[in-house]
Amino acid sequence: MQYLSTRGQTQPHSFSEAVEAGLAPDGGLFLPESFPDIRSHLNDWQSLTYPQLAAEFFQLFAPDISSEEWHSLTAQAYSKFDSPDVAPLRQLDEKTYVLELFHGPTLAFKDFALQLLGLLYKRLATQSGKTLAVLGATSGDTGSAAIHGCLGQDGINIFILYPNGRVAPLQERQMACTDASNVFAIPIPGTFDDAQALVKETFGDPAFTAAHNLSAVNSINIARVLAQCVYYIWATLRLPENLRDQVEFVVPTGNFGNVLAGFLAHQMGMPAKRFRVATNQNDILHRFFTNGEYRQGDVFPSFAPSMDIQAASNFERFLYLLLNKDSTRVRELIAQMKSGTPVTLPEPRGIFRASRLDDAGIAATIADVWQQYGYIADPHTACGFTDMAPDAISIVLATAHPAKFPEVVQQATGVDPTHPTLEALKLLPLRTHPLPATVDSIKTFIAEHS
Ligand SMILES: Cc1ncc(COP(=O)(O)O)c(C=O)c1O
Ligand SMILES: N[C@@H](CCOP(=O)(O)O)C(=O)O
């Protein structure tokens, strides 16, 4: 299996090469050259544990790693989750389920990919003898999960940029209270979009990237998206066969990595009726899937800070597939978007629909879900609990533990959500490395700490 860049100007890469690079050298994002048809596997996969399913799935995409090694990697990656199901599917009523993706070490869905990616980096560093500089941008959860995937690993230094003052206090503590010497939590002025743009610009310098063995840890890295496909398949297999094509997956959305993973699993033959892109007030993707126009606006801080994004990286992968892999057209459209000119595409909806909640809606929805089901949704998950489909079974992806965002949850429900790992963090000192939002300062810092 080879991996191609959405911009069409990079040589095909193997799985391991694509993971090591993260972002393609031409600035594009890697995708497998074709998607395997998983329908013939679904019966056999039904009885597997979560780590076994992940190992079987990855073998289809990365034959350069042996089956035995995949099973060992996934067994280790999911060993720190606190639910025996890893991703438990809870039924709330006849037509509503919640897929809980917050049972990993940092209590957000990012752990599914980043526990595994940390091990893939470790494997790479051991085999090559190189020291990797893992670089990422975060609006809160990717950073924590990436840091906890790489914590204390020999041969890896990890640099995470985040918008100063715009991540939740406990998210910042998860990144900045580790005391590990290979972890650098870097607040910068601006928004998540600014941090993500700095990361991409840093990768735009091939000499620097090569000199420091830079790898991108955001969902621009294809391993991230593939690892996230697995829980969609897992959830599907928990339902009776006759219901599987009735499912609308409801996905709280920011950088478009999570919902893209579901879409890719569907492209591979996983049954589903639809995907709902659920945004907060930073609603560029809601607008796109409602009227076809992709027009970037300002980012406004919200109760769901990890989704305060207006430049969704993985949208490029979706464009590439929507445009039948026409990478010339992708390059033109990305240039148009970067220049601030809105892009309009005909019939973008297909198997998608969208919903949006502002802060008042998020607070009211957390209260409603609590009253109706006795279930506490975090503010990101709450964005999914609106506009429920009358014609489908809804599986709402619960992307974070409510204890990460206690204030809004407490106000809406009267319940103060807590978690022991977060309580312990409150006592530790913060260690951050603030930098100005310039590529030069980021590069200098990485060079000095690699
Ligand atoms: C808790 C939470 N929910 C939802 C999202 C949105 O996911 P994605 O960026 O993959 O669309 C994020 C971060 O991106 C998140 O941290
Ligand atoms: N919400 C994310 C933003 C980065 O998304 P990624 O999936 O591309 O890493 C975060 O929590 O940082």
Cα Rg of the chain, angstroms: 20
- Asked if residue 78 is part of any domain, the answer here is no
User: For residue 348, is pLDDT > 70?
Assistant: no
- Share above pLDDT 70 across residues of the chain, in percent, rounded to a whole number: 100
- Asked if residue 287 is part of any domain, the answer here is yes
> Which residues span the domain enclosing 329?
85-105+223-423
Distance 136 CA to ligand 2 centre (A): 9
**Higher confidence at residue 179 or residue 371?**
371
Pocket test for ligand 1, best of 253, 279, 366 (most atoms within 8 A of CB): 253
The region of weakest confidence among 11-25, 266-280, 284-298, 338-352 is 338-352
- Locate 310 and state its tokens: 């207006």
- pTM for the predicted model, two decimal places: 0.97
Mean pLDDT estimate for the chain: 96
- Asked if residue 165 is part of any domain, the answer here is no
* 130 part of the active site: no
- Asked if residue 284 is part of any domain, the answer here is yes
With CA atoms as reference, report the closest residue to 99 among 215, 233, 218: 233
Residues 6+ positions from 391 with CB-CB distance below 8 Å? 273
Sign of the alpha-carbon dihedral angle for 235, 240, 242, 248: negative
Distance 79 CA to ligand 1 centre (A): 23
Q: Is residue 385 very low, low, confident or very high in pLDDT (cuts 50, 70, 90)?
A: very high
Specify the number of domains making up the chain.
1
Atom of ligand 1 nearest to the CA of 252: 4
Indicate which residue of 110, 122, 404, 443 is catalytic. 110
Distance 207 CA to ligand 2 centre (A): 26
Per-residue pLDDT, averaged over 135-156, amounts to 96
pLDDT tens digits along 104-139: 999 999 999 999 999 999 999 999 999 999 999 999
pLDDT at 346: 75
pLDDT at 350: 83
Q: Is residue 349 very low, low, confident or very high in pLDDT (cuts 50, 70, 90)?
A: confident
Ligand sitting nearest the alpha carbon of 196: 2
User: For residue 82, is pLDDT > 80?
Assistant: yes
pLDDT at 345: 87
Cβ < 6 A, ligand 1 pocket: 108, 140-141, 219, 252-258, 306-307, 380, 399-400
pLDDT tens digits along 169-185: 999 999 999 999 999 99
The region of weakest confidence among 169-173, 348-352, 411-415, 426-430 is 348-352
CATH number at residue 389: 3.40.50.1100
Q: 117-137 as b/e, with b when 16 or more CB fall inside 10 Å?
A: bbbbbbbbbeeeeeebbbbbb
Pocket test for ligand 2, best of 218, 308, 401 (most atoms within 8 A of CB): 218
Pocket test for ligand 2, best of 106, 116, 141 (most atoms within 8 A of CB): 141
Residues 6+ positions from 222 with CB-CB distance below 8 Å? 3, 15, 18, 19, 29, 30, 31, 32
